[in-house]
Structure 1
Amino acid sequence: MKNLFCALLVIVSGTSWASSDLETSGDVLHLMLPATAMGATLFYEDGYDGSWQLIQAAVSSRLVVEGLKYGVSKDRPDDSGDDSFPSGHTSDSFMAATFIQQRYGWQYGLPAYIAASYVGYTRVASDQHYLEDVLAGAAIGALAGWYFTDPYKGITVTPLAGNGTYGVYISGRF
């Protein structure tokens, strides 16, 4: 799994990108993140549970995104259409990153979130979306990934902070 994330980072790295190369790298990564999430369910022999949770998260986030695109009809920054809000690429990416983090832990989730953030960056930098489109897409995808995903096995540890309180939330699946 670590090798796969390293390969993803190499694919999208570089010192200078033309706008079309930047957009293409985001397009490719936005497809690779859900594929990686599905691949993880196969790698871990996670079977039906993990795959079904990923499918539920993907379908629900896509339905919300498409419904909002149709209902809001916001023009894109480059005037290529009226389906700017919210960003589907970013929603797909954050859904997959959240699935990976929730199911398999932060050691895999953090690189996935970095990659998902890069996808969002490419959507704004290539004039396909405004910042608020990307933020809304990220929120929709992350919420769907969180709602439908259970930890794979064992105990999940999540850091907590708020209202002057800091701690760790520990949950287990038995």
Structure 2
Amino acid sequence: MLKKTSAILTLTLSLMTPVVSAGNLEQSGDVLHLALPLTALSATLLIEDDYQGMWQLAATLASSRVGVEALKYTVDKDRPDGSGNDSFPSGHSADSFAAATFIYRRYGWEYGVPAYVASSYVAYSRVASDKHETSDVLAGAAIGALAGWYFTQPFKGVNITPIAYNGTYGVYVSGQF
């Protein structure tokens, strides 16, 4: 499993290198925004036999997108570049962080950290290309990450879940032994 997942992530990142190095920040963010969910889907279909992860990814991405679109429809916020009034929240950030959280929750930190770095780059590219303000990408990232945390269960191994309830905060750790 680890070899297949590593191969998928390496292939995705190697395909991204020419786009990122071309110097077009907005375009590289756009491509990476699509590459993260596709990488998550590819890893899920190639590694798992029961397709449970595919449905968790679909639920994560769909719920994240529904939340984003509902907010875009109700919140009238102009984009910094003046290209529209659908700035809040950032859909690119939501999609990217939903995929990154799925990858982290499903396959662990060794794959989650690079996915979160890539998601952060997507969010940065949206602000730097004047499509969003920082608050827009932070809200999108939160929506995507929350959807990922809610719908995604680990493929195998240890599950670490933050807990915040009624003034009590902590971490719940469980695993298969």
- Give the match for residue 89 of structure 2: 86
Which of 141, 148, 151 in structure 2 is aligned with 1:148? 151
Give 2:98's aligned residue.
Answer: 95
Residue among 5, 9, 34 paired with 2:9: 5
Q: Give 2:89's aligned amino acid.
A: P
Report what 1:22 is aligned to. 25
* TM-score, with length taken from structure 2: 0.84
**Structure-to-structure mapping, 1:1-174, within 5 angstroms:** 1-10=5-14, 11-12=16-17, 13-14=20-21, 17=23, 21-156=24-159, 170-172=173-175
What is the total number of aligned residue pairs between the two structures?
164
AA aligned to 2:60 is A
Deviation at 1:148, TM superposition (A): 0.2
Counterpart position of 2:167: none
- Mean alpha-carbon deviation: is it higher for 102-111 or for 146-155? 146-155
Q: How far apart in 2 are the matches of 1:47 and 1:25?
A: 33
Gaps of 5+ in 1: 161-166
Secondary structure of the 1:171 match is strand
* Structure-2 separation of matches of 1:127 and 1:95: 22
Aligned residues: CA RMSD:
2.3
Contact (CA 8 Å) 2:127, 2:133: kept in 1 or not? Answer: yes
The residue matched to 1:90 in structure 2 has which SS? helix
The 10-residue stretch of structure 1 (36-45 or 61-70) with the greater mean CA deviation from structure 2: 36-45
On the 8 A contact 1:41/1:47 being kept in 2, the answer is no
Q: Which runs of 5+ in 2 are unaligned?
A: 164-169
Q: Which SS does the other structure have where 1:47 is aligned?
A: coil
Deviation for aligned residue 1:113: 0.3
Shift of the alpha carbon at 1:8? Answer: 4.1
1:156 match: secondary structure: strand
